[in-house]
Amino acid sequence: MSLSYIRSIGRSIPHLNSAASRCLLSRRFACSTPCSGPWTAVRSLSATARLYADAKLHLPALDSKWRQRWAALPESTHQCTDAAKGKYVLPMFPYPSGYLHLGHLRVYTIADVVARFHSLQGSNVLLPMGWDAFGLPAENAAIERGINPATWTRANIASMKEQLAMMNGSWNWSCELATCDPSFYKHTQKIFLLLQEKGLAYQAEAEVNYDPVDKTVLANEQVDANGFSWRSGAKVEKRKLKQWFLRISEFRESLLQDLEVLAKNDAWPERVLAMQKNWLGKSTGATIKFPLLAFDHDVHAAIEVFTSRPDTLFGVQYLALASTHPVVAKLAEKDPELQAFLDTLPGLPPDSRVGYMLPHIRAVNPLAYHEKTPEATKKSIPVYVAPYVIGDYGEGAVMGVPGHDVRDHAFWKTHHYDEPVRFVLAASEDESTTALQNHPFVDHGIMTEHSGLFKGKSSKETGEMLVAMLEQAGLAQPVEKWRLRDWLISRQRYWGTPIPIVHCDSCGAVPVPDEQLPVLLPEVDEHWAGKKTGNPLEMLEEWVNTSCPKCSGPAKRDTDTMDTFVDSSWYYMRFVDAHNEDAPFSAERVKSLPVDLYIGGIEHAILHLLYARFIYKFLMTSRLVPENGEAKDKTFEPFQRLITQGMVHGRTYVDPSTGKFLRRDEVDLSDPSSPKVVDTGETATVTYEKMSKSKHNGVDPTDVIAQHGADATRAHMLFQAPVSEILDWDGDKIVGVTRWLGRVHEMVRKLGTASADANIPTAKTYFEDKASKLQSMSVDELAQWDADVAVWLDVQRTIASVTASYEKVYPLNTVVSDLMILANAIQEKAAVLSEGVLRQAVSALVRMMAPITPAFSEECWSILGLQPEGRSMFAGEGKVSFPVVDGTLELEMLQPRKQTCAVQVNGKLRAVVEISKPNGLAGDELQDWIVGEILKTDEGSSKLINGTFDVRQAKKVIVIRDGKLVNFVL
């Protein structure tokens, strides 16, 4: 397929659903056109169907043919009027890197398949597409190439749209958006100002994570466990800067409580819910004051520590402070050694065991003032500065309990390896604590002798008593703490949404007036041409210098841009009102929310989903949706159901001698089951791993589609693994899918169209009519009846199974396998089936395949003569309905006429035959009839009369379970 042709498809795609989005969403996106039932009339074979009847199946050609047909559909086929039947299906929008990988192909295939299924069920489906287009990769690429990031980004979007066009998707391009488009980020700025108006966006000086490579601030969530940037890989530095924050902490209770709503009916994966809950990190405990003994130093009288385990208070052996704790800052002013230590901390991992013992202070356990407290607890304890203590969690201080905390234990053993660890609780009252010397006991249990008069009590009860006792003395206070911190959104980069704030010496931080939005990114082509790093906005005086909207005095624009997670926190709301120039969305269109089905990777389980939930909760109670007011008692969640798909891994070849990853041309694949290293002849090691250039295991999905067609690729992608599991991509096995499609196509081709005068009743009507004639049927007629019944019941069972799998989404792989099995069942009996049952079975099969193989199914539908020229089975007057069970599974008359009979001779199994059912016979009459039926069969006559045995000479015949088992005693 030529690139020019692919581009023409890309240009035509936006017309595919253009009317659909303009008429979108008064509440839901329903199509008004009635779905024509496939059996009310049989149309004559069209010229196109005759043309293709004898053609060899060529799937890529079918893709091209039907993509052109879909693009040419009249706009009237997309009109939407019934607002009660809408479905909003949304895959997470992609970053426009310029190419699609198999991970993209998987998530977008899933989304399109589910969308088409719901559409065929009668829902009007919104399946939009957009681009997460801001961010550091584009800016870094621009610097590297010396071009504007907008140029690079738009070129990538155009390229990816061309690739998406090859997937046979049903995207609604008329509501396409890109976050870097001013028409979008204008409203991101409006949302920011709404947040500021409510006190939810604020500036504060804080210690931040600074990426020295990307030269920007990172949120805590964007730094890995070892202190490296998740984007650049650079070691993150700690700096104090004035930054913009969003007060997500105001919504922490609803963010936590509403997880219970999302847990109902498995709407969200349990793993994602757990990750969200852990990130919110609500814990209950107490702040406890440890009085300080300071020697000639003016510091606080006490250090406050938050702990969720007050029951371990007797076991505190040291205190540890964060580097930013006020006591540390005070002491560092006069202690150069301490300051030198603090200077080394940015280069240390957060779990480092290093520490600096403050030489001039000691702390006292508040329990020391009770006369019954053991002497060991009354002793003063050292105070350390330690990198494992987080400055913005709790009080920036922890009480070190080596006997009952893993990190504390490791730290204590590093600095006091020769001093004993104190264990103040154990698993049971009679358990020896000496056996635990090398491992902390971290569970709740029973207090030990080191707990004074609390010995033998439960630790939970003791913890409550200790807090109550210390509270009376003014040394403790019950509190709750959260791990969640306010969202740091300032980024010192160019390629992002400008923060719409002007800083005035007289008026402070002033919002840019609505009529002046958007605050546009200025052109800085010289910056890119010079491949300069840093934020060009800071150096662009003509842009920075402006006038204050309040006092008209001199002012400066804010030169930070917003974290790209701000864009993705609300983009799904923009899709429902993508062309609204005045507001992010209207109160009427937002009734189309929440998203019914959101599909994306587990890697977004914390940041994106948490931020999206926060912004949605805010916006749904903002003045943009006045009918909700300040509704605090309602649950607002943006994604009703969340589907997380597994990653796609590629086949990787490794040289067993060197461990080197091999390119395809370095492997001899003449025998795929035993690949050889070309240079050595050794058998290469084959594994499946995350696709990467370094492992030479990447696969370009457009190459696969060009070779096998989009429909076969889609079906193979789904068939290889359940949606939630890792998919080990094996392109060699796609031939199994293409053979299946070939068999179905051949069956359809042979069937062709019905004659113009054919009068084919529904299957149910056909069976009801024939049932009354069973007694008078000939042997051939009964054989046809049995085949019709068997196939039609298979069809009904498959409809039920496939419908459930489409709705559940995760078992989409079983949809393909069920349809393969049904196709085989129809094909095996096609020669003896009645035309009506055969046609209706094939019709049901094609319609069930349609969501997965849309172009192929359209072709089959036209060959069957069921689609007038210029119509589509997915839209308008030609739109079909997904098959539904017709009740025949429960009909008594369709229960099998035959049954399996196991035949024994003298108690040993000698044959298994199919015989008719006895229909109420009993006693000797049943016995004689059963024997006659057995001997009528080929196997019965060959094995039981003409073989070793002659059961006609049996002394006794024992019939069990109405003839399902018969024993001849000779």
Q: Does the pLDDT at position 921 exceed 70?
A: yes
797-832 pLDDT, tens digit each? 999 999 999 999 999 999 999 999 999 999 999 999
- Spatial separation of the C-alpha atoms in residues 678 and 749, rounded to whole Å: 45
State the pLDDT at residue 868. 78
Q: What is the pTM of this model?
A: 0.82
State the pLDDT at residue 630. 63
User: Is the model more confident about 27 or about 501?
Assistant: 501
Residue 733 DSSP label = G
In degrees and rounded to multiples of 5, residue 228 shows phi and psi of: -110, 150
Name residues whose C-beta falls within 8 Å of residue 375's C-beta, 6 or more positions apart in sequence: none
Category of 199 on φ-ψ map: left (φ > 0), alpha (ψ -120 to 50) or beta: left
Separation in Å, CA 781 to CA 334, 428, 620, 788, 892: 105, 78, 65, 10, 19
User: Is the model more confident about 503 or about 888?
Assistant: 503
In this prediction, residue 215 has a pLDDT band, given cuts at 50, 70 and 90, of: confident
- Spatial separation of the C-alpha atoms in residues 733 and 672, rounded to whole Å: 11
Q: Nearest-CA neighbor of 405 among 391, 387, 425, 385?
A: 425
Name the strand (E) or helix (H) holding 838: helix 835-849
Q: Nearest-CA neighbor of 421 among 446, 444, 440, 443?
A: 440
- Spatial separation of the C-alpha atoms in residues 167 and 13, rounded to whole Å: 11
Q: Does the pLDDT at position 294 exceed 70?
A: yes
In degrees and rounded to multiples of 5, residue 781 shows phi and psi of: -65, -40
Separation in Å, CA 367 to CA 211, 290, 471, 477, 726: 44, 9, 12, 14, 53
Tokens of 533: 């790093």
Determine how many CB atoms are found less than 10 A away from the CB of residue 56: 9
CB 233, CB 136: distance < 8 Å? no
Q: Where are the alpha helices (H) located in 575-685, listed in sequence order?
A: 607-620
Separation in Å, CA 32 to CA 21, 287, 847: 14, 62, 20
- Spatial separation of the C-alpha atoms in residues 917 and 937, rounded to whole Å: 14
> Mean per-residue pLDDT for 712-738?
94
Q: Which of 185-194, 534-543, 921-930 has the lowest mean pLDDT?
A: 921-930
In this prediction, residue 915 has a pLDDT band, given cuts at 50, 70 and 90, of: confident
In this prediction, residue 247 has a pLDDT band, given cuts at 50, 70 and 90, of: very high
> Mean per-residue pLDDT for 626-650?
87
User: Is the model more confident about 9 or about 254?
Assistant: 254
Tokens of 40: 């009310």
Residue 131 DSSP label = E
Q: Does the pLDDT at position 175 exceed 70?
A: yes
Helix (H, G, I), strand (E, B) or coil at 742: helix
What is the residue type of 195? Answer: L
- Spatial separation of the C-alpha atoms in residues 722 and 845, rounded to whole Å: 21
In this prediction, residue 432 has a pLDDT band, given cuts at 50, 70 and 90, of: low
Q: Where are the alpha helices (H) located in 633-778, listed in sequence order?
A: 701-708, 710-719, 734-751, 763-771
830-881 pLDDT, tens digit each? 999 999 999 999 999 999 999 999 999 999 999 998 877 778 999 888 899 9
Tokens of 612: 């999206």
Q: Does the pLDDT at position 434 exceed 50?
A: no
Q: Nearest-CA neighbor of 190 among 567, 754, 748?
A: 567
Tokens of 811: 């078992």
What is the residue type of 958? Answer: I
522-542 pLDDT, tens digit each? 999 999 988 888 889 999 999
Q: Nearest-CA neighbor of 702 among 57, 157, 168?
A: 168
In this prediction, residue 437 has a pLDDT band, given cuts at 50, 70 and 90, of: low
SS (H, E, C) 1-57: CCHHHHHHHHHHHHHCCHHHHHCCCCCCCCECCCCCCCCCCCCCCCHHHHHHHCCCC
Separation in Å, CA 532 to CA 153, 217, 539, 742: 18, 18, 12, 56
Helix (H, G, I), strand (E, B) or coil at 427: coil
Render the burial of 594-606: b for 16+ CB within 10 Å, e for the rest: bbbbbbbebebbb
Place of tokens 């509190």: 479
Q: Does the pLDDT at position 131 exceed 80?
A: yes
In this prediction, residue 221 has a pLDDT band, given cuts at 50, 70 and 90, of: low
In degrees and rounded to multiples of 5, residue 79 shows phi and psi of: -65, 140
- Spatial separation of the C-alpha atoms in residues 911 and 541, rounded to whole Å: 95
State the pLDDT at residue 433. 47
- Spatial separation of the C-alpha atoms in residues 70 and 168, rounded to whole Å: 10
- Spatial separation of the C-alpha atoms in residues 269 and 259, rounded to whole Å: 11
Alpha-carbon Rg for the chain in angstroms: 36
- Spatial separation of the C-alpha atoms in residues 147 and 508, rounded to whole Å: 36
SS (H, E, C) 196-246: HHCCCEEEEEEEEEEECCCCEEECHHHECCCCEECCCCCECEEEEEEEEEE
- Spatial separation of the C-alpha atoms in residues 482 and 279, rounded to whole Å: 9
Name residues whose C-beta falls within 8 Å of residue 488's C-beta, 6 or more positions apart in sequence: 206, 208, 217, 219, 220, 243, 244, 245, 563
In degrees and rounded to multiples of 5, residue 162 shows phi and psi of: -60, -40
State the pLDDT at residue 205. 86
What is the residue type of 694? Answer: S
Determine how many CB atoms are found less than 10 A away from the CB of residue 783: 13
State the pLDDT at residue 4. 34
- C-alpha neighbours within 13 Å on the C-beta side of residue 266: 6
- C-alpha neighbours within 13 Å on the C-beta side of residue 955: 3
- Spatial separation of the C-alpha atoms in residues 11 and 4, rounded to whole Å: 11
Q: Which of 38-52, 240-254, 411-425, 774-788 has the lowest mean pLDDT?
A: 38-52
> Mean per-residue pLDDT for 163-177?
94
CB 553, CB 476: distance < 8 Å? no
State the pLDDT at residue 35. 36
- Spatial separation of the C-alpha atoms in residues 214 and 137, rounded to whole Å: 10
As a whole number, the mean pLDDT across the chain is 87
> Mean per-residue pLDDT for 676-681?
91
Tokens of 66: 């039907």
Provide, rounded to the nearest whole percent, the portion of the chain with pLDDT above 70: 90
555-605 pLDDT, tens digit each? 999 999 999 999 999 999 999 999 999 999 999 999 999 999 999 998 888
Question: Which residues is 892 bridged to in the sheet?
Answer: none
State the pLDDT at residue 858. 96
Separation in Å, CA 809 to CA 72, 275, 370, 816: 31, 22, 62, 12
- Spatial separation of the C-alpha atoms in residues 32 and 689, rounded to whole Å: 47
Determine how many CB atoms are found less than 10 A away from the CB of residue 250: 16
State the pLDDT at residue 918. 79
In this prediction, residue 970 has a pLDDT band, given cuts at 50, 70 and 90, of: confident
Q: Does the pLDDT at position 301 exceed 70?
A: yes
Helix (H, G, I), strand (E, B) or coil at 292: strand
15-61 pLDDT, tens digit each? 333 333 333 333 344 433 333 333 333 333 333 333 333 457 899 99
39, exposed or middle or buried, with CB in 10 Å at 0-12, 13-18, 19+?
middle
In this prediction, residue 520 has a pLDDT band, given cuts at 50, 70 and 90, of: very high
